[in-house]
Each structure stands twice: as structure tokens, then as C-alpha cells.
Chain A
């Protein structure tokens, strides 16, 4: 067991808490840089998807995991980012500019969507975001002169600072760099006053308000940041797929993003990345499993939703803290060995945590 004695504030907000962390993260960085030369193109491509989904789930995590505002329309922000990028790219904007502009467009939309959050909360807010998601989905399908409608839109070749991104390897590094920047940004955000205000709002709006936190301002900020990061991922997603259509940004996509958070572990940066990795790998495993399962089961179209449903229900019932929570438990088990107790991570149960006043 490692004990950290904090003696000043600088130590409290340090990115690496201790030498062990610095060592392991450097090792991870080396592994990630070397990975493309050790893996086949197919798996590099899957890693690119993991990085993109990690960025999306980090965006959603800011809103759901850190600020406690549920959004079930996040695919709409993904669509905003993707279509803005597709439009600007077609008009010859340089990538860095158009990427930033996509995030900006999504972020401004996020502020607009966040407006109901100032008056309503809980399920009402979730339904407002859902309504927004459906309206964007329909709008994208109808605005044919910009989005190409249901027929979809193709994207041309990508070039960053004069380097053509024409192979999986280059796409891998591009998305990895963006992900690293986003992770650093979110880490920084969460140790700043803004991030701490988000967490305070999540834990109790009333106490946050009593401590002088401006709910309206911070909720809007959370929506804007979350949407901007999601839009960023949307732009990368558009370039990865080279083809976007409204079918990729449906209500089910929004739900899948939430499932990623639950599976990974709500309320931590690790959770977002673990969840994204798990999600992509499971989808690939289902595709692989279809080949060697008996055709009666393997060719069923219902196989995928059934497995998704099982995974989700199983995580909610047996591991509500997600993959990251499981990792914490395993780590604590070894750190405390042999003094680990079963009840160490048990969540306090109240008979009924009512939102009502009665």
C-alpha cells in the first residue's frame, strides 16, 4: 500500500500522483507508439475507432459523469461535427481550422441545447435532449443541399500540414494525438475550479448553489464543452469513414454512447476509454463469432442487440462501477492483501432517494 503525504497544493493538482504512475504511463506511451508496427492493418483500424469513441465518451463523460446531466441525444453533436467538417473540407478549409470550427459549431449548439437544463432537470432534461437528437436527425436527412440527405456524403482525401493522411498508420497517429490532447485537456479541466464546480453540481445542486456556484453558467459550460469535444470526434469520425449519412447518428447511437459510459465506469476519465475499448472489441468479437457459431444462432440479426442488452443489464446489476471500478477493486485487493474486505466498495443504499417533495 502506497501512502501519499500531501504537503502542498501543487502536489495535490499534479498530473502524475507518484513515480509509479509516471513510469507506467511512459510505458503505455511507448507501447502505443510502437503498436502500429506490431499489429495488422485491421487491428490498427479498430484502434483508430477506439480512439475516436474514446474522445466521444470523454465528451459525454464531462456532461453525464462529471456534471450529472443526462443526455440521450449526443449523436446529434457527433452529427454536427461530422457534417460541418464534411462541408468545410469540401470547401477547401485547412484541416486544423475546420476541425476547430466543427468543435465550435457543435459547442454553440450545445449551449442552445443546454438552455432547457437551466429550468428542468433529471428525466425532463434527458427527454429534451432526446427530442433535440430526433430533430437534428430529421433535419440532416432533409437539408439535402448541405448534407446530401439520406443518400449520404462522401469526404475527399485528408491532408494535415501538407502531410496526406492516406494510410491507417497516419490516421492512427492523427487520432491518437487528438485523443491525447483531449485527455490532457479534460484532466486539466477537472482539477480547475470549473471542473470542481461540475462535480459539486453533480453531487448536489442545492449545496453547490449555496456555495456560490452559478448553476446556469456552469451547466451551460458543461453542455458547451461536452458538445464541442463530441463535435471534434465527429469530424475525425467523418474522415475515418470517408462517408457519412443520417443513419450513423440515430437515437440508438446516442444510447450506445451511454452504454459505453456505464460499461466503462461513470465518473472517471479511465472509464470513458475502457468503455470505448470494450465496446469496439465486443463488436469485433461478435463479428468473428458469427463465423464459427452454428448458422442457426450466428446468422440471427437479433444476436447483436441481445448481447448488448445482456452486457448492459449484467454491468448495471453486478458491476455498477463499470470496468474501471472492477480494476480499482482488483488493485485494492492486491494492495491490501490479505486484508481486503468485500464491503469495501459497497455503495450506500438508501431506501428511496426521492426527488420529490412530500
Chain B
């Protein structure tokens, strides 16, 4: 039983990472109906930025964390302005291919930057290798920090969406772009900001993940597991993304322990296929049919 709880705890931490990346997908999908295949690569760039902040520039970890978030906010906005905005109004497939291209570019360019390269790097964090004992459970500090910071990021986003003018404008845009446009909301700038926030959230995920895995150019592929998370939660739902992430994280960890070798890597995909067969709109998805 204790072992089971132990596994669930580490699954939850892993699930928070998936949830944060899935959150990035969902934000962009809600605002622009585009699925961003470069989300994982944005996460990877965020991880490298944190690395440069702490190692090369000597910042304390949390300062580097927020610096990376801010840089990625602007990077995401610039990306939207340069690549995505000219594609406004094009079929979804075209835009998806553009984001795949961005992912390739990010991966390629990162390996060419001298200090970053193809090596795996260790991100030094102040809470490395600490553990906390809770009634027999041994929780590593890395996992606790992941859960805590995820909770804080979600709270910040919640406050943004519920109580600020910009947040409400974003909600309006995601519900109906045209109506929002008529109400005087600058839809394009809102979309740009959504891309920025989404990139920043992924960067946060990357920096939280870095102490557990490592920072390397291919760490973005973990973003592919956030797709199942987003689908399980319902693609258009923000709480759904997080819940989906947690489900995938826990299932994956349990599958890794109790099932034969090999199931850990495909557990997320088996879950998503079952979900699509049983409830295609996800746990929190809206069930709407298009009218003619």
C-alpha cells in the first residue's frame, strides 16, 4: 500500500509537468484553434534559458526561473507575430505544419548554440536531493516543488482569467473571435499574448522537469505525451488539461511498475485511444455539434 502511494506521489509530480505542457496546448487551442506541435520544444528552450541564467550569468535559481519565463513570454509573442499571424485564416493543417517546422528549427538551432549543444546538462537547483518524510512516505523535494509551483502557476492563470481585463478579453476571444472583434477587443494582440503566456508556461514546465531528467535538445519530445493529457481532459478545457496530465502521469508511473517492461512508454497512448473510443470529447470537454 505504501509503495502504491509512493508511486502515485511521483506520478502526480510527473503528471503536473504533462499538465503544464497540456495547459500550453489548451491555451493556444482555445484562442486560435491551432494545435501547437512545438510546445515541447518551447519547453526545451525554456530549460536551456534557465541553464544559461544560473550557470553562465550566475543568477540564483529562482531569479533565473522568472527571467526565463519572461524571456519566453516575449519569444512566444515574437513567434506568433512572425510565423503564425501571416497564416491567420488558413486551414488548420497548414498551421499545424508550421508549428512542426518551428519545432524542427528550435531543435536544430539549439544544438548549434555553443554553450548549449547536443550534450545533456545538469541544472543546479537549491533543493537538489532533499527528501521529506510524511508518515512513512518519502517524498523528494523536486516532486514537492513541481506540485507547489504548478499550483501557483495555475492560481496565477486563474486570477488572470477571472479578474483582469486582459483575461476576460482572452475568454471572450476564445469563445467567439468575430464577436470579440466587434466588441473592440484587439483579437490579434490577444492571440499574440496567448502565445506568449503559453510559451512561458511551457518554459516553467521545462525548468521544473530539468532537475529530474536533464536539459538536452531532445527533451521536447516529452511534450508529445502532453497530447494524450490534453485529449483525456477535453482539448478545450483548462482544468481538464491539468486533470488529464495527472491521470496520464499516474497511469504511466503505475504501468511502469506493475506491468511488463515496455508498457510505461505506451501507457499514455493506450489511455488516449480508450478515451477516444469511449468519450471522444474528454472528461471536461463540451459536447457540441456543428450546425449547417
Contacts and interface: CB of A to CB of B under 8 A. Distances in A.
A356 B269 CA distance: 25
Contact of B102 (A255, A309, A347): A309
Contacts of A122: 92
A352 B276 contact: no
Contacts, number: 164
Contact of B104 (A306, A320, A350): A306
A138 B178 contact: no
Contact of B175 (A135, A141, A308, A358): A358
Interface stretch (B65-73, B161-169, B207-215, B284-292): B284-292
Given A123-B235, A251-B224, A302-B108, A206 B292 contact: yes
A169 B255 CA distance: 50
Interface string B212-228: 00000100010010011
Interface stretch (A17-25, A32-40, A124-132, A188-196): A124-132
B105 interface: yes
Contacts of B273: 116, 128, 131-132, 135
Contacts of A352: 33, 88-89, 177-178
Interface in A223-270: 251, 255, 258-259, 262, 266
Interface in B109-143: 109-112, 118
Interface in B7-28: none
B184 interface: no
Contacts of B94: 262, 316, 320
A263 B105 CA distance: 16
B269 A131 contact: yes
Contacts of B89: 349-353
A307 B280 CA distance: 37
Nearest to A142: B262
Nearest to B289: A357
Contacts of B2: none
A160 interface: no
Decide if the interface of chain B is mainly helix, strand, loop or mixed.
helix
A310 interface: yes
Interface of B: 29, 33, 35, 83, 86-98, 100-112, 118, 175-178, 181, 217, 221, 224, 227-228, 231, 235, 261-262, 265-266, 268-270, 272-273, 276-277, 280, 288-292
A302 B175 CA distance: 40
21 contacts: A116-B280, A119-B276, A119-B277, A120-B280, A122-B92, A131-B228, A131-B272, A135-B266, A210-B292, A259-B97, A262-B94, A300-B111, A305-B107, A306-B112, A312-B97, A313-B105, A317-B86, A317-B87, A351-B88, A354-B33, A355-B92
A243 to B, nearest CB: 23
A130 B227 contact: yes
A316 B280 contact: no
Nearest to B280: A120
Contacts of B92: 122-123, 355
A145 to B, nearest CB: 14
Q: Return the 3 tightest CB-CB contacts between A and B, nearest first.
A: A306-B108, A309-B104, A302-B111
Given A123-B96, A128-B276, A302-B110, 12 more contacts: A64-B93, A119-B276, A123-B35, A124-B231, A124-B235, A135-B266, A302-B108, A306-B105, A306-B108, A312-B104, A320-B94, A357-B291
B108 A320 contact: no
Contact of A320 (B90, B118, B231): B90
Contacts of A124: 231, 235, 276, 280
